[in-house]
């Protein structure tokens, strides 16, 4: 068995790691334009012996190790010696994993017998949905600073599971500062899907609604909100670069880091009315943050 294990050398890996963040501009609650760092998000589709396995959303800092770890943890490959090469090509958004014995076909057969958990970045769905986003143009409402603050105050009365046990995300369907439906779940995608089902079952249209989440705003979150027809998306957490790109394409008003009297408008600040007088603060044209 030891002789068999030494039959093949270690896999050859490309070296295609990318930077984890990139600069971005946002307007804060004082109307100042600030230069910030945004976490990068990239789509990386894994191909095992030319068989498409999954599309993962990743920072892209260690794509080769990510590909190997995914295949191992999903038990699609049992031993490292099965792998000949991992080659990442960001222009194609692909990681091609080649094996010595052509294990890709067997892995695909095994995946077809599995239940896939929710998430937009699976298989070919992400590419198809991104094309849909590029064609979507939602009606853009006018919103106000006072409405944002009123909503944040109201949200303070929600999140009962999080206050009791933690480890959950909360999402809310809102009409301005009014919360129409609130869901908590262990994953924000589950909470979003539950609200989408509620809207579908009750024929609720999204054009005059806002969507709030405690979780980070990634491309999947923007895609889901566009599918629900909601033009305003805000979060207590941060955003990724691809979320910003998709929000710009679909004309979504995108707000993040929204807590108490603080928020950042990453897209659509021209539709926001600053109607609340805040304590004076030193005016700076551009504020850099690491």
Top pLDDT among 190 and 53 is at 53
Neighbours of 215 (CB within 10 A): 19
pLDDT above 70 as % of the chain: 86
What per-residue confidence (pLDDT) applies to 4?
Answer: 44
pLDDT tens track for 279-290? 887 654 554 443
On whether the CB atoms of residues 238 and 252 are closer than 8 A, the answer is no
Strand partners, 174: 179, 210
Ranking 22-36, 80-94, 116-130 by mean pLDDT, the lowest is 116-130
What per-residue confidence (pLDDT) applies to 130?
Answer: 65
pLDDT above 90 as % of the chain: 57
* Average pLDDT score over residue span 174-181: 96
pLDDT tens track for 185-229? 877 878 899 999 999 988 899 999 999 999 999 988 999 899 899
* Spatial separation of the C-alpha atoms in residues 138 and 170, rounded to whole Å: 24
Residue 200, Cα to own-chain centre: how many angstroms? 22
- 121: pLDDT strictly greater than 80: no
Q: Which domains does the chain have, with CATH numbers?
A: 2-23+38-115 (3.10.20.10), 136-288 (3.40.140.10)
- 178: pLDDT strictly greater than 80: yes
């Amino acid at each position: 068995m030891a002789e068999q294990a030494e039959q093949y050398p270690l896999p050859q890996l490309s070296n295609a790691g990318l930077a984890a963040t990139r600069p971005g501009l946002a307007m804060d609650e004082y109307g100042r334009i600030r230069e910030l760092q945004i976490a990068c998000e990239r789509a990386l589709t894994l191909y095992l012996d030319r068989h498409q396995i999954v599309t993962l959303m990743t920072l892209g800092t260690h794509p080769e190790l990510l590909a190997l770890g995914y295949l191992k943890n999903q038990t699609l490959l049992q031993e490292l010696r099965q792998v000949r090469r991992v080659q990442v090509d960001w222009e194609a958004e692909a990681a091609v994993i080649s094996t010595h014995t052509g294990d890709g076909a067997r892995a695909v057969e095994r995946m077809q017998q599995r239940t896939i958990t929710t998430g937009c970045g699976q298989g070919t769905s992400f590419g198809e949905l991104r094309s849909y986003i590029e064609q979507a143009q939602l009606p853009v409402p006018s919103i106000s600073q006072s409405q944002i603050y009123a909503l944040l105050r109201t949200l303070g009365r929600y999140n009962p599971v999080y206050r009791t046990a933690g480890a959950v995300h909360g999402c809310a369907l809102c009409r301005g500062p009014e919360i129409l439906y609130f869901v908590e779940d262990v994953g924000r995608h589950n909470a979003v899907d539950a609200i989408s089902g509620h809207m579908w079952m009750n024929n609720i249209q999204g054009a005059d609604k806002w969507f709030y989440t405690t979780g980070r705003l990634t491309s999947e979150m923007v895609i889901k909100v566009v599918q629900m027809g909601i033009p305003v998306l805000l979060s207590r957490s941060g955003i990724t670069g691809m979320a910003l790109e998709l929000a710009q394409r679909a004309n979504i008003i995108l707000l993040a880091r929204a807590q108490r009297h603080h928020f950042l408008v990453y897209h659509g600040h021209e539709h926001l009315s600053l109607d609340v007088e805040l304590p004076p603060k030193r005016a700076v044209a551009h504020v850099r943050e690491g």
